[in-house]
Structures are given as structure tokens and as C-alpha cells.
């Protein structure tokens, strides 16, 4: 069965600093990987996804994630965060038609 581990429950960071949110998964089969973001009082929104091809995927708001098959990781990075990036971030892996989610990482960007 697939599982997802997000190693940090909270990540405080100052505005304009770089950030990395870590995600490791376990699966005996090939998977698709996703990062979702949840802003306060909202549902989840897709941030980026890895299906195949280039192992580095990017979102429209400056986040990127790299699929590393040997380390079974899909860490999310941003070189310079903004206050507006404050949210909870969830890593997810496919499981047949559904998804298995990690426990989430709360990113707190401070001025």
C-alpha cells in the first residue's frame, strides 16, 4: 500500500527566505505525485504534479518540486517566499483512482 510522510508539521520562515517542504513516499508500483495547498477556510488547490518526463516540475507561483525515484522523495521548494504563501501544504500519491495524502506541513511566513 502507498504511504506518504511529510517530515515537518510546521515550518516557520521569514519573508523572502528560501523554503523546502519535505515529502517521502513508499509504493511498490509507479505512482503519480501531487502537491496541494490549502489556504485558511478553503478547500485544497492543486499546486503541481509529477506524472512522467522531467523530474523537475514547476507551478505558476514560483514553487517547484523534484521527483527523486531513488530516494522516493518529492520535496517542494521555493527560492523566496511571500506572506501570501502562508498556508498548509499536502503531498499526495496516487492509489488506483484515489489519493493518499500526507499529514500536511503548515508554512508560516513571517515579515
Partner 1 sequence: DVKVTQSSRYLVKRTGEKVFLECVQDMDHENMFWYRQDPGLGLRLIYFSYDVKMKEKGDIPEGYSVSREKKERFSLILESASTNQTSMYLCASSSALTGAGQPQHFGDGTRLSIL
37 binds partner 1 (CB under 8 A): no
89 binds partner 1 (CB under 8 A): no
Give which of 49, 44, 76 is closest to 63, Cα–Cα. Answer: 76
Sorted by sequence, the CB contacts under 8 Å of residue 45 that are 6+ apart come out as: 36, 37, 38, 39
In the block, residue with C-alpha cell 478547500: 43
| 36 within 8 A of 92, measured Cβ to Cβ | yes
107 binds partner 1 (CB under 8 A): no
Draw the binding track, 40-69, toward partner 1 (x: CB under 8 A; -: no contact).
-xxxxxx--x-x------------------
8 binds partner 1 (CB under 8 A): no
Q: Whose Cβ is closer to partner 1: residue 32's or residue 66's? A: 32
Q: What share of the chain is helix, strand, coil (3-state, %, to 5)?
A: 5, 55, 45
All cell numbers assigned to 65:
518540486
7 binds partner 1 (CB under 8 A): no
Residue ranges binding partner 1 (CB under 8 A): 4, 6, 9, 32, 34, 36, 41-46, 49, 51, 90, 94, 96-104
Amino acid at each position: 500500500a502507498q504511504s506518504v510522510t511529510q517530515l515537518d508539521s510546521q515550518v516557520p520562515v521569514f519573508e523572502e527566505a528560501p523554503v523546502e517542504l519535505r515529502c517521502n513516499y513508499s509504493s511498490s508500483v509507479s505512482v503519480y505525485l501531487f502537491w496541494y495547498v490549502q489556504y485558511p477556510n478553503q478547500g485544497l488547490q492543486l499546486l503541481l504534479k509529477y506524472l512522467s518526463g522531467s523530474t523537475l516540475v514547476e507551478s505558476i507561483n514560483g514553487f517547484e518540486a523534484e521527483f527523486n525515484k531513488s530516494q522516493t522523495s518529492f520535496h517542494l521548494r521555493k527560492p523566496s517566499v511571500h506572506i501570501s504563501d502562508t498556508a498548509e501544504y499536502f503531498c499526495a500519491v496516487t492509489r488506483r483512482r484515489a489519493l493518499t495524502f500526507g499529514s500536511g506541513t503548515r508554512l508560516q511566513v513571517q515579515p
